Amino acid sequence: MKKIFLLLFPILFLTASCEEVVEVDLETAAPRLVIDASINWVKGTTGNEQTIRLTTTTGYYNPQIPVVSGATVYITNSAGTVFDFIEQPGTGNYNCTNFIPVIGENYTLTVISEGQTYRATEMLYPTPDIEEIVQDNEGGFLNEDVEVRFFYPDNGATDNWYMYRFDWAGLPYPDYDVIEDKFFQGNQMFGIFSDEDLAPGQQLRMRLYGISQRYYNYMQILISMAEGGAGSGPFQSPPTTLRSNMVNQTNEDNYALGYFRLGEVSDLTYTIAP
């Protein structure tokens, strides 16, 4: 045993000493406008305060995301009412304080930036209430995770699509998932989050969104790409360009990224029990 150890030690030493950071020379495409336009009407609020964020794409190694200032941003409803979004100077965040959310209403977002006009129309979708939360301390495949489920009723009169978002201190970024009611029409549905590091007293924020079928398809692809699916890797080109619903009215080839969507949000924070 001692001889094996003596032989392995220099090999391990050499392996450890050879570690170094390697930067791959990557090609950087011309920057594109990114429109983050999620209009969320949280249940129990007026929904009149909304924010749209404008940035551009940038190089892989750039630690800063460039913001877009000086744009004209507004939303129009079917009655022609205009809701202006005014930038907080230098931030790329365009804020509105008098937005009027109406379930089933169609809204058109217009963004004018650097001589280009982008536009999309979407409906504001309803969302059911989260009715129950259940915790299981023996969840996951190995029965070692703390598992939390929230339950909500599906509206069987229509086809529906939903998005879930989970936030807690142990996640570097939010966890998203999307689901359709194809096999659950009119029945109770649930969202689920589990992690072995969830501990008593920690808070898990859960959000349920009503979304369109098109946005459901968009998020399915985006989540798959973010999780390394569809043949994507850290230095591979995406297998497909995920196109926004924002159409450039000036030059279709100069398309934007991101998405314009609207919906109610059922938003609850749950404290993990012992």
pLDDT tens digits, residue range 204-217?
A: 999 999 999 999 99
Within a domain: residue 233?
A: no
Say if strands 72-77 and 50-56 run parallel, antiparallel, or are unpaired: unpaired
pLDDT at position 232: 47
pLDDT at position 178: 97
Banded model confidence at residue 7, pLDDT cuts 50, 70, 90: very low
Residue 234 pLDDT > 60: no
8-39 residues labelled b (16+ CB within 10 A) or e (exposed) = eeeeeeeeeeeeeeeeeeeeeeeebbbbebbb
Residue 35 pLDDT > 80: yes
pLDDT at position 8: 40
Q: For 5-19, 102-116, 257-271, which range has the lowest pLDDT when averaged over its residues?
A: 5-19
Within a domain: residue 156?
A: no
Within a domain: residue 272?
A: no
Highest mean pLDDT among 19-33, 71-85, 225-239: 71-85
What is the pTM assigned to this prediction?
Answer: 0.84
Measuring CA to CA, how many Å separate 25 from each of 138, 212, 226, 228?
Answer: 46, 39, 22, 21
Measuring CA to CA, how many Å separate 60 from each of 23, 26, 105, 242?
Answer: 10, 8, 39, 18
Q: Which domain holds residue 114?
A: 26-126+241-265
Mean predicted confidence (pLDDT) in 52-76: 89
Q: Is 119 helix (H, G, I), strand (E, B) or coil?
A: strand
Within a domain: residue 208?
A: no
Dihedrals phi, psi of 63, to nearest 5 degrees: -75, -15
Within a domain: residue 224?
A: no
Q: For the chain, what percent of residues have pLDDT higher than 90?
A: 73
pLDDT at position 12: 42
Rounded CA-CA distance 38/19 in Å is 43
Residue 267 pLDDT > 90: yes
User: Per the structure, how many domains does the chain have?
Assistant: 1
What CATH code is carried by the domain that includes residue 81? 2.60.40
Give tens-digit pLDDT for 129-139.
999 999 999 88
Within a domain: residue 139?
A: no
What does pLDDT average to over the chain?
A: 87
Q: Is 151 helix (H, G, I), strand (E, B) or coil?
A: strand
Give tens-digit pLDDT for 235-254.
455 555 788 899 999 998 89
pLDDT at position 59: 73
pLDDT at position 10: 43
